[in-house]
Structure 1
């Protein structure tokens, strides 16, 4: 698969007002995209982010669209306003997420259904119709909790495993052949964002908190990365990664591919008597 040329493209980033989403938007602009849409529920933060981008990259490089990814009409409006402003949309970053275990239904709706909704809109309608080149790209942001469970956070883990699965399904060559849209998964390691700060305050009970504090990856001394450290690696995946692949980006290091073992490759099957 040829390298995807980011220069002159247009990106829509959910959860784009701050954290990982904002860092990816800035990294894309630094690489030469024509414009970015920051789709987020945080209006004040989003509008401030647009001003910061314009101060650095020039006027007209970004717009903010208030978007709750659990609301289908708002999500579609983000695509529509992107096309109205920039005439195209080539890259979708499904990044919006929360970590509120106590509100697990809302968490699943944002983290999993929101990514499903965005991929469906992007893959089936907007990217094939409004891409400016031969191909378009969807990045689905999962987590290292999407390849191995955070046992204190079953809702978050379930949502991120789901993102992993839908990425493998929609990233299959059978879909790419028809749509020319690459679907790629990114699993960030522990990253310094507001999402992480939410976690311990919203577990089900103190019993879960004790488990949380004993999880190696969640230890305060475990190596972490900033959004600014990981975002250039995401840009590189947009350029180079093959559809249907999933990549771990942790500790500010280059991405490495995660592949699930196929069941037919299991040699020592542990049958139960």
Structure 2
């Protein structure tokens, strides 16, 4: 089930910075036709697209301001009218242990709703030409520990969604591959707001003593590498600067 990024039109939610930006950059390096960045941060998104177009060629990257919770219908309609999309990268996410509802809305509900919108659009049995739904999950989508309870809950859902919608039964009917990557600890803005106040001191000790931090560039490259060979329904791990591996069903 190999897939070549060359000449693909790719949509990346939350693509203005961090992992989303690096994934976008890597797809363009691998020959993507058009990279559509969606993000709520307008100034950051406009600057990201300027940088990518300067690097890869004018018009290769496009920015659309988007709140993934509110703007699905409006933005997807705009995209489908202008482009033949091959890949959706569900990357937008937050880590906000102060709000369970917001965490679930962004990390889970939006991922499923955007995924299903593009899955229906791509389905070969409904006139589409197939494609890939690529979900950015987390090692916290299969590990368990006392930390980041809300975040873990949302990412467990993303892993389950990927494995279920991406089951070969659904792929055989639809022609749409569904895969995910679970990055380990990565040096991005999402690491703020990562614990409840009464956990903060102990969690900071874990971060200082037990965590091997990765760069966003490392994850971006790994994500695009995985895209080229991952079978539908599979979930992959990139953590501790180690080689890519399949995610286990559960891990302590």
Is this a same-fold pair by TM over 0.5?
A: yes
1:98 counterpart (94, 99, 102): 94
Structure 1 position 79, deviation (Å): 2.9
Structure 1 position 62, deviation (Å): 1.2
Query: Paired residue for 1:271?
Result: none
Structure 1 position 26, deviation (Å): 0.4
Structure 1 position 126, deviation (Å): 4.5
Query: Paired residue for 1:80?
Result: 77
Q: SS of 2:25's equivalent?
A: helix
Gaps of 5+ in 1: 262-273
Contact 1:152 1:211 (C-alpha < 8 Å) held by counterparts: no
- CA change 1:123–1:7 in 2 (3 A) is same
- More contact order relative to length (CA 8 Å, sep ≥ 6): 2
Contact 1:248 1:256 (C-alpha < 8 Å) held by counterparts: yes
- The number of equivalent residue pairs is 249
Query: Paired residue for 2:9?
Result: 10
Structure 1 position 124, deviation (Å): 1.6
Q: Distance in 1 between matches of 2:110 and 2:45?
A: 19
- CA change 1:235–1:42 in 2 (3 A) is same
Q: Distance in 2 between matches of 1:140 and 1:36?
A: 16
Q: SS of 1:101's equivalent?
A: coil
Q: SS of 2:178's equivalent?
A: strand
Deviations 1:116-158 (A, max 9, x none): 1111111122565786xx5411111111111112422110010
Structure 1 position 61, deviation (Å): 0.8
* TM-score, normalised with respect to structure 2: 0.92
Query: Paired residue for 1:142?
Result: 137
Q: Distance in 1 between matches of 2:216 and 2:127?
A: 29
Query: Paired residue for 2:68?
Result: 69
Gaps of 5+ in 2: none
* TM-score, normalised with respect to structure 1: 0.85
Contact 1:193 1:227 (C-alpha < 8 Å) held by counterparts: yes
1:254 counterpart (228, 232, 243): 243
Q: Distance in 2 between matches of 1:39 and 1:145?
A: 24
Q: Distance in 1 between matches of 2:141 and 2:230?
A: 19
Q: SS of 1:93's equivalent?
A: strand
Q: SS of 1:149's equivalent?
A: coil
Contact 1:151 1:211 (C-alpha < 8 Å) held by counterparts: no
Say what the alpha-carbon RMSD is for the aligned residues: 1.9
Contact 1:111 1:159 (C-alpha < 8 Å) held by counterparts: yes
Q: SS of 1:199's equivalent?
A: coil
1:89 counterpart (77, 85, 101): 85
| 1:210 aligned onto 2:201 | yes
